[in-house]
Structure 1
Amino acid sequence: MLLRDPKNAKFLIIRFSSFGDVVQTLSVPSAIKASFPEAQIHWITRKDMAPLLKNHPNIDKIWEFDRKAGLKGLIRLCLQMRREGFTHIYDAHNNMRSRVITWILRPLGILGVGPKFIRRSIRRWKRFLLFKFRINTFEMPFSGQRDLLEPLQPWGISKVSPAAPQIFPSEESHKKAQEVLGPYADCVALAPSAAFFLKRWPKEYWKELILLNPDQRFVLLGGPEDSFIEDIRDVAPERVLNLAGKCSLQVSSSVVALSRMLISNDTGLLHVAEQLGQRTIALMGPAPFGFPSRSSTKVLEIDLKCRPCSKHGQGPCVNKEKYHQCLVDITPEQVTREMKLLLRTSHR
């Protein structure tokens, strides 16, 4: 029988992806430690996400899953994990892979035998009411981190986010960030991309923001597929550095840490800044479930009856009066005012 003594507790967190969700889940280990100070905490994640977890003082072991290994590889990894004798398992992902893990690690779970277990609910009924009938039964304001912590309350774990920082870029990634930044150190970082177009502040607005601030240097961050970001740089190439596709997730995180502040769409780097405690302006559009919640972040949003309109901002836009109004009505002049106000405040 597994020990239930808090001093002998051993937790497993399951969260494979995505970038932003993994970063938000980084608050969970510290929340667990606040209630179980002597517990061991393990985490299984996708191999490409594992570096984001490294150096976290409250994660004792990271289990890396390589998607190329397929189902057989996942089963082999789970059989190794069974030897750990976990007392608590938190499925923060709730997909087929996470269910395979729980089936293997607690085969008699249906009988109540084995590790204590919580699976984060996707809340399909609440989402259906929200997106189909505009009936909102979610706790307000929306908060991505609270939604990840709330399921753990039956174990006596608080749903209040632990203080930043909750992400810890390595010294190596900091050095690489300093190298790629060069004279652009201490600039303002911009994250113009997002997984879905409707979550993106218009490209022309980013250009105008840069032109409205002729004395400020900027660095642009994004992925290798974000070729449109070079167009933003071209508006003032003498004081804008484009690092899109040139940095790993870890180095990009260090760039955010070394910058004066971040201005970001609803995307993974927004959550990096949140977990660093970095000053941030969040441009929030159609999606509700990645909302930041720390005082270091200034949320800019437009109150519309059609918001939120989709889970991830995948669309289509349902605003019949003005396409993409939720982000189009946030002006570069407004963002400039907020940026200057935040830059006058002390850094973290």
Structure 2
Amino acid sequence: MPSALAQTFPGAEVQWITRKDMAPLLKNHPHIQRVWEFDRKTGLLGLIKLVWSMRAENFTHIYDAHNNMRSRVIAWILRPLGIIGIGPKFIRRSIRRWKRFLLFKLRINTFEMPFNGQRDLLEPLQKWGVSKIAPPAPQIFPSEENLKKAAEVLGDYTNAIALAPSAAFFLKRWPKDYWKDLIQLLPGERFVLLGGPEDSFIEDIHAVAPDRVLNLAGKCSLNVSSAVVALSRAVVSNDTGLLHVAEQLGKRTIALMGPAPFGFPSRPTTKIMELDLYCRPCSKHGQGPCVNKEKYHKCLVDITPPQVAEQLQGILRGHS
């Protein structure tokens, strides 16, 4: 999005407000001049203080891409007279509640297909002349310091295959044993496992081949994990944050897409593996419950390790 704005408004200063834990992904972007970091631990009062200080920037355009209570508070403070049309130009992205109701409750899909997370974020900005076609990768720029740290923790595993077996909700996770099978189907490859400190199950995947699998789950910051992805040969990921990191880095990636529709990748470097089922998508974030009457978790269980291994081998041959 920053690059798309820069294409439309050459010379404009783009500033971004985001959660503190997400801010590292925006650092070093050539088209973002300032990142405002909100620490959720400071609560509503902390948010108000932060945004009040932003008023001095005298923004001419404001885009609320998130459209939640927090982003509405930000908009109210930055454009207090917006209700009567006075102040910065403003766009709020619709979350399309009616379309979501039709999709999840009545199984009527009125969304533009295929699902495309980047397009959905850029589309509202067409009112300002911004194209809804995503700018080319990379759109994430790891610092030299973080690339160095990533190289240190990787050691001999630089240029290995990065695997992201976790996800916020269980139904978005390819089965744990399938990751083990994938590793065993490719005995000549090295793998790096990425995840958070709470993803203790990843150690079980590591144990299947500890001589050629490096477990970095919970051992790297978001900054360093992003740099690890940048130094990887290819990526296989569930529908989770590291999938989008890989895509914005332009890495060759396999995306295992299950129950949720709104985080779909779209770059040609990403191979989407999914099943056409009557029950998909079943929920906004993949929180469930599973509604398939034939088989529990069918949308990911029926994507088999040999199928993924075949696609991955094709990517690796093309990369080499």
Fold in common (TM above 0.5): yes
Task: Encode CA deviations 1:281-328: one digit per residue, 9 max, x unaligned.
Answer: 000001000000000000001110110011011011100111111111
The 2-side partners of 1:29 and 1:82 are apart by 21
RMSD: 0.9
2:71 is matched with 98
Specify the alignment match of 2:260 in structure 1.
287
For the residues of structure 1 that align with 2:45 and 2:257, how far apart are their CA atoms? Answer: 40
Give me the whole-angstrom Cα distance separating, in 1, the residues matched to 2:89 and 2:292. Answer: 45
Deviation at 1:96, TM superposition (A): 1.4
- 1:330 aligns with 303
Indicate yes or no: 2:67 matched with 1:67: no
* Residue of 115, 135, 149 corresponding to 2:122: 149
- Out of 230, 237, 240, the residue aligned to residue 264 of structure 1 is 237
- Aligned counterpart in structure 1 of residue 188 of structure 2, from 211, 215, 225: 215
**Structure 2: which 5+ runs fail to align?**
none
CA displacement, residues 321-347 of structure 1 (integer Å, 9 cap, x when unaligned): 111111111111011110010011137
* 1:199-227 Cα deviation digits (max 9, x unpaired): 00001100001111111110100000000
**Per-residue deviation, 1:41:** 0.4
Q: Which residue of 2 aligns with 1:174?
A: 147
Question: Does 1:306 pair with 2:285?
Answer: no
User: 1:228: which partner in 2?
Assistant: 201
How much has 1:72 moved relative to structure 2? 2.0
* Alpha-carbon distance between aligned partners in 2 of 1:346 and 1:286, rounded to the nearest angstrom: 30
Deviations along 1:251-277, whole A, 9 cap, x unmatched?
111111101000000000000010000
Q: Give runs of ≥4 in structure 1 deviating > 3 Å.
A: none
Aligned residues between the structures: 320
Matched, 1:190 2:151: no
Q: Distance in 2 between matches of 1:266 and 1:39?
A: 33
Which residue does the alignment assign to 1:6?
none
Most deviating of 250-259 and 72-81: 72-81
1:154 aligns to what SS in structure 2?
helix
Amino acid at match of 2:192: V
Q: Indicate yes or no: 2:31 matched with 1:58.
A: yes
SS at match of 1:52: helix
Amino acid in the other structure paired with 1:304: L
Report the Cα distance in structure 2 between the residues aligned to 1:167 and 1:326, rounded to whole angstroms. 30
1:76-122 CA-partner distances (Å, limit 9, x unpaired): 22221111110000011111121111111111111110000011111
The CA distance in 2 between the partners of 1:267 and 1:302, in whole Å, is 18
C-alpha separation in 2, matches of 1:287 and 1:71: 30
Could you tell me which residue of structure 1 aligns to residue 58 of structure 2?
Answer: 85
1:115-136, CA deviations, whole angstroms, 9 ceiling, x for partnerless residues?
0001111111100000001100
Which stretch has the larger CA shift, 68-77 or 116-125?
Answer: 68-77
Provide the residue aligned with 2:213 in structure 1: 240
Among residues 173, 198, 203, which one is paired with 1:200 in the alignment? 173
Match of 1:159 in 2: 132
* Distance in 1, Cα, partners of 2:8 & 2:222: 30
Which residue is 1:110 aligned to?
83
> 1:47 — aligned with what?
20
Task: Give aligned-pair identity as a percent.
Answer: 77
Q: Distance in 1 between matches of 2:300 and 2:21?
A: 31
